[in-house]
């Protein structure tokens, strides 16, 4: 038995080494053969450093974009997760891929494994044919009309957030804003989408808060992930999955439980879960959603929305603390608009706050949560420059963080200048110069909802309190190095003072 295990171990090691070097070699030849400019990765370690899910990937994308932009063609070669990908360096090509010719790039190319991990069969991961059917059913949840109906729920949680600052009514206080933003966003998404009253603002140790704080966005190990990206067929054969059983069981229990209870009591409320249950029972079969689809996708809405929205809200407070003039200008707008609406925050009132929208957009530009977005070519595609071809099945990467920080498109990119999004200036901006939510039919479905959550929190707090960076707060926001998505690494402590009326 021992001998057998040793032989098997040796075989597996040799197999992995041969496979690794073989793939690396073929990958290197891929771009060389097509004459597309590219940096050849180190043959010994390949692109292992860059491909891991760390911030190194974001800086490698930035460096490569800078190096090859305007050099030759409209994209260059890059190696990601040991796979050759086309890195777009030209905004017109980005526009064509995401919007004009979106039907030729209708898949994101994410790994999923239907047989072993049905929980990952969600809107984010599904391939084009199944994705378009699901997107058509889910898109009506996020229209302006629908969001208008849940707006009062968001405002109520904004009021709850304000209560957390009551101590500042007497004296200046120092508060850690990131944790509060996470709890606020948790409550809004849980309440408005999942139909759950988790009250994590009042009770930071509520079951939902503790579980999602620990497990949200947690996935398999980097090595497993690398294999999934590199050799998805092999990963499927090896039954590799990205969902933790604990996470799947948790969402099935809390969301599934809500659905069963609501159906039993015929309970309806002005939230998106009510609409999802209506879709489960839709008369027209083509519009119907199964129970599994509802659970899997509402869990996705939480997972995809929670961290980016909480991080952006935190970055917004941080920047407003740094830029007191911007904070004052924003507060003036909020006060003026609220006055016109008799002090009541309504959907219409928020729509009038143009400078608020600019502040949110500028935060999204400066702090680009996703460093890149991706698509896969479903056919050979001739690009607009020098007839370079993106071959069928090639993954295409659009480095949005690099674009947001390119001074050709965003002057003084490290500065926080909300007015760069003024309507008159927008006309002369390239539509792909700022893509925090992606673009085209496969863009972020929760974009409007995210902006509402962030906007309501800013209005609720800025209308009554003044925010300053505390002396304990560093002036540069660091992000954890061991993850791709941007988020504040350290506590963000702010001084908060009640405004004199
Ligand atoms: C500030 C907050 C957010 C940011 C920066 C953000 C960003 C993004 C980006 C960059 C994409 C990929 C788009 C593309 O490939 O073109 C995406 C997709 C997606 N986002 Fe968001 N997002 C945010 C909030 C939300 C929220 C609140 C939800 C849920 C309600 C959500 C749900 C999704 C889903 C389901 C997709 C996949 C859409 C599809 O493939 O059809 N996101 N998001």
The side-by-side arrangement of strands in the sheet containing 75-80 is 75-80, 83-88, 395-398, 373-376
Parallel/antiparallel/unpaired status of strands 83-88 and 395-398: parallel
Could you tell me the distance, in angstroms and rounded to a whole number, from the CA of residue 274 to the centre of ligand 1? 22
Q: Are 496 and 172 a contacting pair, CB within 8 Å? A: yes
Ligand 1 mutation pick, 432, 446, 454, max ligand atoms within 8 A of CB: 446
Could you tell me the distance, in angstroms and rounded to a whole number, from the CA of residue 44 to the centre of ligand 1? 36
Residue 124 Cβ inside 6 Å of ligand 1? The answer reads yes
Within 8 A by CB and 6+ apart from 355, the residues are 329, 330, 333, 418
Encode the chain (501 residues) as per-residue pLDDT tens digits.
667 778 877 877 777 666 666 666 666 667 766 777 777 665 544 454 545 567 778 888 999 999 999 777 799 988 876 678 999 999 999 999 999 999 999 999 999 999 999 999 999 999 999 999 999 999 999 999 999 999 999 999 999 999 999 988 889 999 999 999 999 999 999 999 999 999 999 999 999 999 988 887 777 777 788 788 878 889 999 999 988 899 999 999 999 999 999 999 999 999 999 999 999 999 999 999 999 999 999 999 999 999 999 999 999 999 999 999 999 999 999 999 999 999 999 999 999 999 999 999 999 999 999 999 999 999 999 887 666 889 999 999 999 999 999 999 999 999 999 999 999 998 899 999 999 999 999 999 999 999 999 999 999 999 999 999 977 667 667 777 777 889 998 889 999 999 987
Residue 36: the pLDDT is 78
Instruction: Provide DSSP, 82-133.
Output: TEEEEEE--HHHHHIIIIITGGGS-B------TTT-GGG-STTT--HHHHHH
Q: Helix axis angle, 291-322 relative to 354-366, nearest 10°?
A: 100
Residue 234 has φ and ψ, to the nearest 5°, of -65, -40
- What burial class does residue 353 get, using C-beta atoms within 10 Å of its C-beta: 0-12 exposed, 13-18 middle, 19+ buried? buried
Ligand 1 atom 8, closest CA: 437
Atom of ligand 1 nearest to the CA of 451: 1
Give the pair of three-digit tokens for residue 168.
Answer: 């500042």
Could you tell me the distance, in angstroms and rounded to a whole number, from the CA of residue 301 to the centre of ligand 1? 8
Residue 45: the pLDDT is 44
Could you tell me the distance, in angstroms and rounded to a whole number, from the CA of residue 304 to the centre of ligand 1? 6
The two counts, helices (H) then strands (E), for the chain are 19, 9
SS3 of 494, please? Answer: strand
Torsion sign, CA atoms 209, 210, 211, 213: positive
Ligand 1 mutation pick, 124, 137, 304, max ligand atoms within 8 A of CB: 304
Residue 125 Cβ inside 6 Å of ligand 1? The answer reads no
Taking only Cα atoms into account, the Rg of the chain, rounded to an integer number of angstroms, comes to: 24
Could you tell me the distance, in angstroms and rounded to a whole number, from the CA of residue 427 to the centre of ligand 1? 25
Give the pair of three-digit tokens for residue 329.
Answer: 């200008």
Instruction: Name the residue with tokens 């209560």.
Output: 163
Torsion sign, CA atoms 141, 147, 152, 158: positive
Within 8 A by CB and 6+ apart from 374, the residues are 85, 108, 109, 395, 396, 397, 398
* Torsion from C-alpha of 227, 231, 236, 241, nearest 10 degrees: 30
CB atoms closer than 10 angstroms to residue 149: 14
Q: How far apart are CA 322 and CA 21, in angstroms?
A: 49
Residue 397 Cβ inside 6 Å of ligand 1? The answer reads no
DSSP state of 35: T
DSSP state of 46: B
Q: What domains appear along the chain, each with residue ranges and CATH number? A: 2-498 (1.10.630.10)
Give the pair of three-digit tokens for residue 339.
Answer: 């006055």
Within 8 A by CB and 6+ apart from 30, the residues are 77, 84
Q: How far apart are CA 259 and CA 4, in angstroms?
A: 51
- What burial class does residue 239 get, using C-beta atoms within 10 Å of its C-beta: 0-12 exposed, 13-18 middle, 19+ buried? exposed
Instruction: Name the residue with tokens 């990963």.
Output: 235
Residue 443 Cβ inside 6 Å of ligand 1? The answer reads yes
Residue 50: the pLDDT is 45
Torsion sign, CA atoms 88, 93, 99, 104: negative
Give this prediction's pTM: 0.92
Residue 296 Cβ inside 6 Å of ligand 1? The answer reads no
Residue 87: the pLDDT is 94
- Strand-pairing partners, residue 390, are 381
SS3 of 79, please? Answer: strand
Residue 272 Cβ inside 6 Å of ligand 1? The answer reads no
Farthest CA pair distance, the chain: 82
Residue 363 Cβ inside 6 Å of ligand 1? The answer reads no
Residue 312 Cβ inside 6 Å of ligand 1? The answer reads yes
Residue 55 Cβ inside 6 Å of ligand 1? The answer reads no
Q: How far apart are CA 412 and CA 465, in angstroms?
A: 30
Could you tell me the distance, in angstroms and rounded to a whole number, from the CA of residue 444 to the centre of ligand 1? 3
- Angstrom CA distances, 188 to 154, 157, 191, 444, stand at 6, 7, 5, 18
Parallel/antiparallel/unpaired status of strands 373-376 and 493-498: unpaired
Q: How far apart are CA 268 and CA 103, in angstroms?
A: 38
Residue 19: the pLDDT is 65
Torsion sign, CA atoms 390, 393, 394, 396: positive
Residue 298: the pLDDT is 97
Could you tell me the distance, in angstroms and rounded to a whole number, from the CA of residue 98 to the centre of ligand 1? 14
Q: How far apart are CA 243 and CA 209, in angstroms?
A: 19
Atom of ligand 1 nearest to the CA of 440: 16
Ligand 1 mutation pick, 188, 432, 444, max ligand atoms within 8 A of CB: 444
Q: Are 439 and 88 a contacting pair, CB within 8 Å? A: no
Instruction: Say whether 444 counts as a known binding-site residue.
Output: yes
Residue 22: the pLDDT is 65
CA angle 81, 62, 92 (to 5 degrees): 100
- What burial class does residue 350 get, using C-beta atoms within 10 Å of its C-beta: 0-12 exposed, 13-18 middle, 19+ buried? buried
Q: How far apart are CA 103 and CA 307, in angstroms?
A: 30
Q: Are 213 and 250 a contacting pair, CB within 8 Å? A: no
Instruction: Name the residue with tokens 């009640």.
Output: 498
Atom of ligand 1 nearest to the CA of 131: 41
Torsion sign, CA atoms 243, 249, 251, 252: positive
Within 8 A by CB and 6+ apart from 210, the residues are none
Instruction: Name the residue with tokens 């901006």.
Output: 429
């Amino acid at each position: 038995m021992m001998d057998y295990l040793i032989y098997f171990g040796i075989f597996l090691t040799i197999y992995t080494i041969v496979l690794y070097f073989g793939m690396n070699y073929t990958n290197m030849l891929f771009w060389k053969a097509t004459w597309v400019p590219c940096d050849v990765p180190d043959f010994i370690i390949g692109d292992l450093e860059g491909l891991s899910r760390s911030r190194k990937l974001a800086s490698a994308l930035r460096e490569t974009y800078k190096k090859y932009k305007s050099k030759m063609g409209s994209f260059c070669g890059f190696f990601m997760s040991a796979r050759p990908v086309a890195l777009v360096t030209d905004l017109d090509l980005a526009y064509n891929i995401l919007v004009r010719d979106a039907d030729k790039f209708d898949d994101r190319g994410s790994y999923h494994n239907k047989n072993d991990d049905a929980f990952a069969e969600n809107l984010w991961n599904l391939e084009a044919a199944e994705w378009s059917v699901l997107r058509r059913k889910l898109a009506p949840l996020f229209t302006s009309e629908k969001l208008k109906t849940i707006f009062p729920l968001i405002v109520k949680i904004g009021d709850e957030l304000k209560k957390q600052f009551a101590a500042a009514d007497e004296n200046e206080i120092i508060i850690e804003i990131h944790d509060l933003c996470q709890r606020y966003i948790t409550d809004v998404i849980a309440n408005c989408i999942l139909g759950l009253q988790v009250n994590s603002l009042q009770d930071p140790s509520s079951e939902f808060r503790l579980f999602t704080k620990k497990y949200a966005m947690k996935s398999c190990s980097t090595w497993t992930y690398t294999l999934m990206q590199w050799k998805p067929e092999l990963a499927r054969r090896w039954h590799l999955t990205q969902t933790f059983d604990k996470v799947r069981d948790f969402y099935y229990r809390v969301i599934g439980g809500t659905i069963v209870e609501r159906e039993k009591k015929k309970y309806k409320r002005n939230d998106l879960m009510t609409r999802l249950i209506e879709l489960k029972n839709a008369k027209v079969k083509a519009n119907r959603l199964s129970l599994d689809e509802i659970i899997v996708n509402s869990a996705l809405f939480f997972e995809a929305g929670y961290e980016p929205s909480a991080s952006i809200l935190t970055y917004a407070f941080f920047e407003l603390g740094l830029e007191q003039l911007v904070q004052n200008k924003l507060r003036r707008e909020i006060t003026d608009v609220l006055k016109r609406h008799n002090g009541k925050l309504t959907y219409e009132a928020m729509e009038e706050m143009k400078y608020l929208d600019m502040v949110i957009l500028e935060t999204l530009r400066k702090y680009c949560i996703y460093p890149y977005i991706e698509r896969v070519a479903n056919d050979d595609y001739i690009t607009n420059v020098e007839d370079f071809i993106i071959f069928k099945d090639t993954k295409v990467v659009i480095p949005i963080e690099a674009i947001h920080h390119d001074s050709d498109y965003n002057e003084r990119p490290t500065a926080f200048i909300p007015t760069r999004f003024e309507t008159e200036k927008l006309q002369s901006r390239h539509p792909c110069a700022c893509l925090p939510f992606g673009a085209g039919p496969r863009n972020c479905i929760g974009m409007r909802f995210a902006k509402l959550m962030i906007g309501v929190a800013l209005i609720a707090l800025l209308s009554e309190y003044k925010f300053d960076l505390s002396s304990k707060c560093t002036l540069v926001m660091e992000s954890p190095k061991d993850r791709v998505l941007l988020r504040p690494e350290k506590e963000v402590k702010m001084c908060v003072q009640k405004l004199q009326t």
